[in-house]
Chain A
Amino acid sequence: IAGITQAPTSQILAAGRRMTLRCTQDMRHNAMYWYRQDLGLGLRLIHYSNTAGTTGKGEVPDGYSVSRANTDDFPLTLASAVPSQTSVYFCASSPQGRGEQFFGPGTRLTVL
């Protein structure tokens, strides 16, 4: 089934640990995104990539890093997790030149 997969589905993490959230799409979309969704704050863009090999910072990039080695994969890394990074994380992708985004099922991350 075409779409976006994210892993893990959920994770509980000790503060200070390193964590990588995985995102893979099979729609050959050029652009990919990482958002966090928090109650009362909505969806906030963390990082994005317009095409393989390029990345950019979104609204809330601090404490996160991304890479885009190929079209399909866009991992998000928390180098040293802090409790304020407790959130639901969504990966999304978008076809070139169009605004519509297609979202994965999300990763629920709890940092203790």
Chain B
Amino acid sequence: TQLLEQSPQFLSIQEGENLTVYCNSSSVFSSLQWYRQEPGEGPVLLVTVVTGGEVKKLKRLTFQFGDARKDSSLHITAAQPGDTGLYLCAGAEGAGSYQLTFGKGTKLSVIP
């Protein structure tokens, strides 16, 4: 069973600060997704990374897939209260795989 370890588990920062969330595994994934979940709602897909070393930007969010496709990071620049939520990474085991392995998430609180 492939595992994804996310760190930190909890993060509380002031508005305007930068932060990085990590997602690590000893296994190789064909693709990796990042989701954000707000209280009382389902996870919402933010991005998918597929190629080792790939970097994707979504406004103030930067996602990177490790060269070996075993790890990923999410960097948020100038965090805002609207960024508050649970950030989940999830990996697909093989090309065309229907199943995802989810990390346990990083709970981010951005204080105004």
Contact = CB atoms under 8 A, between A and B. Distances in A.
Bound pair (A, B): yes
Interface of A: 4, 31, 33, 40-43, 45, 48, 50, 58-59, 90, 92, 94, 97-106
B42 A104 contact: yes
Given A99-B30, A100-B45, A42 B97 contact: no
7 contacts: A43-B43, A48-B99, A99-B31, A100-B45, A101-B90, A105-B42, A106-B40
A94 B40 CA distance: 21
Given A100-B45, A103-B35, A106-B40, 18 more contacts: A41-B104, A42-B102, A42-B103, A42-B104, A58-B99, A59-B1, A90-B42, A98-B48, A99-B30, A99-B31, A99-B90, A100-B33, A100-B48, A102-B45, A103-B42, A104-B42, A105-B41, A105-B42
Contacts of B31: 98-99
Contacts of A45: 99
Given A41-B104, A42-B102, A99-B30, A106 B42 contact: yes
A106 B41 contact: yes
Interface of B: 1, 30-31, 33, 35, 40-45, 48, 88, 90-92, 95-100, 102-105
Closest 4 CB pairs of A and B: A99-B92, A103-B42, A42-B104, A31-B98
Given A103-B42, A103-B43, A106-B41, A97 B96 contact: yes
A103 B104 CA distance: 16
A92 B43 CA distance: 9
A99 B102 contact: no
Contacts of B48: 98-100
